[in-house]
Structure 1
Amino acid sequence: MKVTLNKLQRLQCLCLLVTSLLSSTVFTQGVTLNHSVQAIARVQNNKALLRWATTTPSSWIKANTYGYQIERFTISRNGALLSPPEKKVLTQEPLVPKPLESWQDLAENNDYAAILAQALYGESFEVDGMEDEGALAQIVNKSKEVEQRFSFALFAADMNFEAAKMAALAYEDTSIVPGEEYLYKVKAAVPQELQNINPGSVVIKSITPEPLPAPLDLIAVPDDKIILLTWDYEMFKSLFTTYYIERSENGIDFKRLADVPLVNLNKTPQSDRLRMQYIDTLSQNNKAYYYRVKGISPFGEESQPSQVVSAKGIKKLTATPQILKYELEGSDSVVLEWEFPKEAEKEIVGFELNWSKSKNAPFQVVKKLLPGDRKTRYLNLTSSNYFTVTAIGKNNQKKESLSTFVQTIDETPPKPPTGLAGVIDSLGVVILKWQANIEQDLLGYRVFRSNLENEEVSQITISPIPQNTFRDTVQIKSLNSNIFYQVVAVDKRFNTSEYSEKIKLKKPDVVPPSSPVFKDYKLNGDGVFLEWIKSSSSDVLYHQLYRQNVQESEKGWELLFETKNETTFVDNNVESNTKYRYAIFAQDTSKLMSEPSTPVTVVYKNTSPNVNIIKGFSAIADRTNNAIDLNWRNTSRNIVEILIYKSKKEEQPVLWKQISGSINKIQDKSVSPNNVYVYHIKAITANGDHSEIKTKEIEF
């Protein structure tokens, strides 16, 4: 059995499909390089019909040798799930294609069975006589023979279920029970070490299936001795593999246009047409024909017919109008003239004048004219006008002339833009907006910029921009703190408006002020005197003086003083023998803080005595006990030590006693009569301060 062109001509050169036929079947949607079995199923007349195929030519060849095994799992019964599912092996021996001699009767009566038998058992599988059948056919003819066998076998199996069963690509399960749901598992019996082929599975309920739906949205588009038929493919692509088109001359008796069904040749992994198309060639125009479409499932089932549509071939309009010239009449009127053959007037019902403001914009009909008209006047011209003339045929055919551009004289510039405003963000991005001009012939806007208010602005747009917004970028860290903008409007004749009002935009302040500098410091009895030189930045708002106790640095810095104009400060809240560090900052109007000045570190020591620490110092002679009693009052808890000096009159005093600051009296027994003693007392505080020396003189 060798398939020749004579056999395949009736199948409309199905060889064009090759591997794309895989994607035309329900169970092989999408291209895959995996070796696997894919299956579909349908209930019909109390039996389940199974169809399957492998996804690659090599796996199909091996499965033809080793066969397929089918297992059925009952997963529910009367709505109740079965756990575990009931398993049944439907094929005790693997299904393999029937031997060649079994195909004789079916192949003689069915072309698809003959092709399937040839794909399985033919010594060669060449499509003869196709060298002149087009480029696609020649490409297919050069493809590998095994791919041709695989492609034709799957398509032929889709078209004839009996042939599919004989080729071990289909199975009928007649043991199904109503109310049960099954999972069928189809496995290729190819040894795994030879090729790993993944099994396929499908779930089906044993209920009476609904009939196949009719194809949708059949449309007939007439032309000269042809009618284009198109219908929805996407909706039922999972149900129908192919389609038959039927035609009638009376709307009752329909006949197929071809013995071979139509396949979607445009379906590829990269592009998927949503509609099917077919062109029917007619022997004459003006005769009504009726059409309907039927879908064919992979089980060979035929759907209900689609709705019937009707159309007539129409004679093509051959003549096309051509605009010859135009003449302007003032600023808003034009007279157009065109030519059209006089003898072709009988084919048309008139002309339409079409206008558009742009060559690429949609044209609109602005005037309807008679078949004998060759000239017309159009008013209300704009600055830009495109015209075409369309001849309207009696069958509603249209022939449109080339477009003609008409431009009016315009020396009036647009009005200057208004409402210019803008903002600058912290990154220096400027957003400008302004009110859109209302001129019909507006081309766009030009944007200008300057760094100084009295400086001449420079254009920063390369060409007019159509939108009334603009995005610019400026350098934030620069010497000038402001930037200035203006905008002009430009029409399509390049007339330019006056400048808009100039606006000033303040740049975000991201540069901190310069640091102030300490000029001098002094330590005296009043505290620590500090003097500084202010920051040189012009936008400084405050100077802030901070202090840190070095011995208590973990407490951080303390704000002492904030000023706008002063340059000196006396810190009188200091303790003696304490180390302090001072720093001064400048803060500008944007609350940016300068780097600190070079810190000043000092150790404060109080050299002025505190006269209020010791009071009531007295000396009383106790001649009975031969002693002198000294008494005083401590007015501060901060006294840590008392120093008492003693001398005889006219002699130098020497340190006599060094006692705790909590003591406020003492007795001196180292005295002798007839002497004048002089006592000096001084208190020392915890921070190193000392009191004023108190003196008492006593004669003993």
Structure 2
Amino acid sequence: MFKCVIVLFTYGISITGFSQEDNEKNEIKVIARVQTDKVLLRWAATTPSSWLRGNKYGYLIERYTVLRDGNLLNPPEKKSLATAIPMPLEQWKEAVEKNDYAAIMAQALYGETFEVEETQGGLAQIINKSREIEQRFSFALFAADLNFEASKMAALGYEDVDIKNNEEYLYKVISLVPEELMKIEPGIVTIKIKEAEPLPAPIDLIAVPDDKNILLTWEYAMFKSIYNAYFVERSENGIDFKRLGGDTPLVNLNDKPGAPARRMFYVDTLSQNNKTFHYRVIGVSPFGEQGTPSEVVSAQGIKKLSSVPHISRHEFDNKGGVIINWDFAKETENEITGFELNWAAQEKGPYKVVKTGIPASSRKTTYAEPEPSNYFRVTALGKNNQKTTSLTAFVQTIDSIPPAAPIGLLGTVDTLGLVKLQWEANLEKDMLGYRVFRGNLDKEELSQITIDPINRTTFIDTVQVKSLNSSVFYQIVAVDKRFNMSDYSEKLRLKKPDVVPPSSPVFKGYKVDPKGIYLKWINSTSDDVVAHKLFRQRMDQSEKGWLPIFETDTITQYIDSNIESGIKYRYAIFAEDDSGLQSVPSTPITITSQTSTDEDLIKGFSLVADRVNKNISISWRKLPEDVLEITIYKSKKDEKPILFKQMPNSTNKVIDNSISPGNTYVYSLKVITKQGNHSKMKTKEVIF
């Protein structure tokens, strides 16, 4: 066993397509490439734990011939090619001495410890904080990507040399880890044997010069499945190229799951400016192959502009234009070609160029058509496409005239409470937008419901339809770019769809007399009621259902005279609003009618004064059986009668002992039948 320290001199390390994504599923991924007279296979487990067990138990490589001479073989011809397991430690010594990637692979497989010394980049620092098995797994795949010989020694690569040009194969890499320990899905790849294709040249290489450095960038995403690393080469004469960074290739650390990188970047630091250098890049495949070099680009370092413009003051001319003045070092005028003026309506931009071609010797310029609010920057243009830009200067024009009040305000409210407003656009050129105000009462002050001025002439609002307010009110105010506010528009009243029935009326009282049933009620308190409807129901089932008997708007009483005597009736009253909605009925009341009858039921009514015994005898004949009760009223002559007696039908005589001599007494009789009818009253008087 041995110990080594891995030093990375590039941006960091890369884990290729086998494990770049956070894949928790235990499986094997396989890729293949045809070379002259052989097929190269590369595979890897997708998790550290499955890789670790694969190192112990190994892999089985199977090949299935599926096509021959264009004909499908059924079943395919199966052939077991090899069983791969990492080579023992003692067989790595020679490879480790010659190859850094073999050393990394051997340390990942067999090292007692696994340390990473960080000199540049952030990914190595992250790996330092991970578990050691994850470090070993990551670096093993990295080494396998960059050196095919190391991948074969680590049981992550294989060469199939027994191939035929007229056949197509399916390769299957099977983990030999027992399923009871871990289930690992096999990896499959198909390939057609044909003439080996050269690897493509990287494209879109661009060199961006700066002060003593050159930024190189090229297309990455298009060749991501082909190349996993790149060499950058530089030349001073365009012929003899030397690799930057030695034999350590560059990998893309910006390529992350969920945020794939589009381009590769590399910065070459220069010892001097104004010297031309030539660059090209070469891709490295997961099989360790180097592709065709890219086209050559050339660039040289350029000196940065040493001066920055500074806006010193501004003023208005007699035409309303803004004169912008700035300072710039006179001795650095030879470094620039001139100036340009940038303008924006807001400090954060976006800025646009409003004046170009300003000479390098100029220190002021005029902007003829300023807005109410203006933000200016002056940019110095270097001779090498460099720029320096001043800080922002704010210029505000004088404007105290508000826009006109908006006109033509219209709107609608649907049954869901969705309000749609529209109005005519103002004609002022400095319009910023409109503010919308809303209220629930005509006399109240409306409240603003827009946070910022809106730049359109329509607005959508929502209101509560089921509320006590039947209307909603709107007004619009126009705002210019100096935040001057117009007068309010005409107030718009919108009637809400009526979905709330009115409140119910309430019966206040009733009275029964011979003329009929006298009813009183309290009207509904809702302000949109247009009618109160009184209904009656006869309880003896001779009539079915409720019958309307009276309708009014404001009257609160009614005499129901169209009734029969002695019948029970139920009464209910409803309120109806101007939308046709009807309230819940009042609590019904049940009343029995009481009307007089013309039938003369009292016969033989007589009064006898017994002055000896000091009483008056009141008698009458036997009454019919349907008489329920006999009522007798008594009074002295010219006085108000009072109830004297109430007796059942079984009695036909009463003695009055409560009398005094020298008075005239008046007695009245009336009977009530079982049907509730009252007979005619009989009255007689006697002198005692």
Asked if Structure 1 and Structure 2 have the same fold, meaning a TM-score greater than 0.5 normalized by the shorter chain, the answer is yes
Residue aligning to 1:375? 364
- CA distance in 1 between counterparts of 2:575 and 2:276 reads 95
- CA distance in 1 between counterparts of 2:548 and 2:115 reads 102
Q: CA deviation at 1:473?
A: 5.7
The 5 A counterparts of 1:169-248 are 169-208=156-195, 210-248=197-235
Structure 2 residue 268 is the aligned partner of structure 1 residue 280: yes
Q: CA deviation at 1:288?
A: 3.1
Letter in 1 for 2:84: L
The 5 A counterparts of 1:424-443 are 424-426=413-415, 428=417, 430-443=419-432
Structure 2 residue 32 is the aligned partner of structure 1 residue 41: yes
Residue aligning to 1:614? none
- CA distance in 1 between counterparts of 2:487 and 2:385 reads 52
Residue aligning to 1:411? 400
Letter in 2 for 1:202: V
Structure 2 residue 98 is the aligned partner of structure 1 residue 112: no
The 5 A counterparts of 1:532-611 are 536=524, 539-540=528-529, 585-597=574-586
8 Å contact kept, 1:443–1:464: no
The one-character-per-residue Cα deviations of 1:642-697 (angstroms, maximum 9, x if unpaired) are: xxxxxxxxxxxxxxxxxxxxxxxxxxxxxxxxxxxxxxxxxxxxxxxxxxxxxxxx
- CA distance in 1 between counterparts of 2:339 and 2:214 reads 26
Equivalent residue of 2:476, what SS?
strand
Q: 1:133 to 1:495 in 2, by over 3 A?
A: closer
Q: 1:133 to 1:307 in 2, by over 3 A?
A: closer
8 Å contact kept, 1:420–1:432: yes
- CA distance in 2 between counterparts of 1:325 and 1:64 reads 74
Structure 2 residue 362 is the aligned partner of structure 1 residue 389: no
8 Å contact kept, 1:544–1:559: no
- CA distance in 1 between counterparts of 2:469 and 2:138 reads 77
- CA distance in 2 between counterparts of 1:62 and 1:119 reads 14
- The percentage of counterpart residues that share the same residue type is 57
8 Å contact kept, 2:437–2:450: no
The one-character-per-residue Cα deviations of 1:210-260 (angstroms, maximum 9, x if unpaired) are: 433332322221112221111122222122111122333444444432322
Residue aligning to 1:333? 321
Q: 1:489 to 1:66 in 2, by over 3 A?
A: same
267-276 vs 533-542, greater mean Cα deviation: 533-542
Letter in 2 for 1:39: V
Residue aligning to 1:306? 294
The one-character-per-residue Cα deviations of 1:326-381 (angstroms, maximum 9, x if unpaired) are: 12235722222211111100101111122222212222222231111112232222
Q: 1:579 to 1:307 in 2, by over 3 A?
A: farther
Residue aligning to 2:41? 50
8 Å contact kept, 2:438–2:449: no
8 Å contact kept, 1:331–1:408: no
Q: CA deviation at 1:450?
A: 4.6
Equivalent residue of 1:417, what SS?
coil
402-411 vs 330-339, greater mean Cα deviation: 330-339
Equivalent residue of 1:191, what SS?
coil
Q: 1:149 aligns with which of 129, 136, 147?
A: 136
Structure 2 residue 307 is the aligned partner of structure 1 residue 319: yes
Residue aligning to 1:481? 470
Residue aligning to 1:688? none
Q: CA deviation at 1:195?
A: 3.9
Q: CA deviation at 1:406?
A: 0.7
The TM-score, its normalising length taken from structure 1, stands at 0.72
8 Å contact kept, 1:534–1:543: no
Letter in 1 for 2:9: Q
Equivalent residue of 2:223, what SS?
coil
Q: CA deviation at 1:26?
A: 2.7
Q: 1:571 to 1:38 in 2, by over 3 A?
A: farther
- CA distance in 2 between counterparts of 1:180 and 1:119 reads 38
Structure 2 residue 9 is the aligned partner of structure 1 residue 12: yes
Equivalent residue of 1:163, what SS?
helix
Residue aligning to 1:297? 285
The 5 A counterparts of 1:70-109 are 70-78=61-69, 81-91=72-82, 94-109=83-98
8 Å contact kept, 2:205–2:297: yes
- CA distance in 1 between counterparts of 2:573 and 2:208 reads 89
Aligned residue pairs: how many?
590
The one-character-per-residue Cα deviations of 1:558-598 (angstroms, maximum 9, x if unpaired) are: 887897879999999x99x9999776654433231222355
- CA distance in 1 between counterparts of 2:46 and 2:473 reads 70
Structure 2 residue 250 is the aligned partner of structure 1 residue 262: yes
8 Å contact kept, 2:10–2:248: no
Residue aligning to 1:661? none
Equivalent residue of 1:65, what SS?
helix
8 Å contact kept, 1:513–1:535: no
- CA distance in 2 between counterparts of 1:458 and 1:239 reads 67
Q: 1:593 to 1:417 in 2, by over 3 A?
A: same
Letter in 1 for 2:329: P
Letter in 2 for 1:215: P
The one-character-per-residue Cα deviations of 1:433-470 (angstroms, maximum 9, x if unpaired) are: 433435454444444445444x2524334865334555
Q: 1:544 to 1:371 in 2, by over 3 A?
A: same
- CA distance in 2 between counterparts of 1:477 and 1:429 reads 13
8 Å contact kept, 2:42–2:157: yes
The one-character-per-residue Cα deviations of 1:117-141 (angstroms, maximum 9, x if unpaired) are: 34334454434xx466577655645
Equivalent residue of 2:104, what SS?
helix
Q: 1:266 to 1:571 in 2, by over 3 A?
A: farther
Equivalent residue of 2:188, what SS?
strand
- CA distance in 1 between counterparts of 2:231 and 2:371 reads 55
Q: 1:68 aligns with which of 59, 66, 70?
A: 59
The TM-score, its normalising length taken from structure 2, stands at 0.73
8 Å contact kept, 1:415–1:437: yes
Letter in 2 for 1:352: E
558-567 vs 396-405, greater mean Cα deviation: 558-567
5+ residue gaps, structure 2: 594-688
Equivalent residue of 2:103, what SS?
helix
8 Å contact kept, 1:244–1:261: yes
5+ residue gaps, structure 1: 605-700
8 Å contact kept, 2:42–2:156: yes
Letter in 2 for 1:27: F
Q: 1:261 to 1:53 in 2, by over 3 A?
A: same
